[in-house]
Amino acid sequence: MSILGAINSTITQNNVLNNYNRTRIYALIKSRPGIHYSEIVEKLNLGNGQAHWHISYLERFDMIKKVKSKQYLMFYPNDGVIVNNTTSVDESRLFKSKSRQQIFDSVCQKLGITQGEIGKLVPISQSTIAYHLIILEDEDFIYIERRGCKRYYYCTNES
């Protein structure tokens, strides 16, 4: 226990970025606010344990903030810009997938669009469209109006 205590006590606010991988993680988070944990691991070619270890130090020294949503674990630099701004968090989730973005744009451009109409505009399978519509509805980006057997999709925030 005393050896671990000595190792941990050598990392301070002044030298937390002296580690190569920790610096790479921090730079990536700063350049891509809202980046997902799996993207960090993949882009930097790190193991899960290694990424978790370095991220925990960045969090401990209040350099980054972790934001959890229903589906994602995202990281932001703790520079006071995005920490509590849920709109930015929501947008980063929305733009994570190009298909989801195209579906969302289709719904916002044509109010009361059906899933079949979306399928004609966005060249992906019906099951993939359904998957993204569920996520967009769960995250309150869109809402569904049911008329008989048909479902019509609308943008929640029509601005």
Residues 6, 80: one domain?
A: yes
Residues 114, 146: one domain?
A: yes
Give pLDDT, residue 68: 77
Any domain includes 22: yes
Residues 106, 78: one domain?
A: no
Boundary residue ending a domain (56, 84, 112): 84
143: tokens are: 């809402």
Domain, as residue range, for 118: 97-155
Low-confidence ranges of the chain (pLDDT < 70): 1-9, 69-71, 80-96, 158-159
In sequence order, which residues have a C-beta less than 8 Å from that of residue 130 and are 6 or more positions away?
115
127: tokens are: 């099951």
Give pLDDT, residue 47: 92
What does the DSSP 8-state code read for residue 16? G
Any domain includes 28: yes
Number of domains in the chain: 2
Any domain includes 91: no
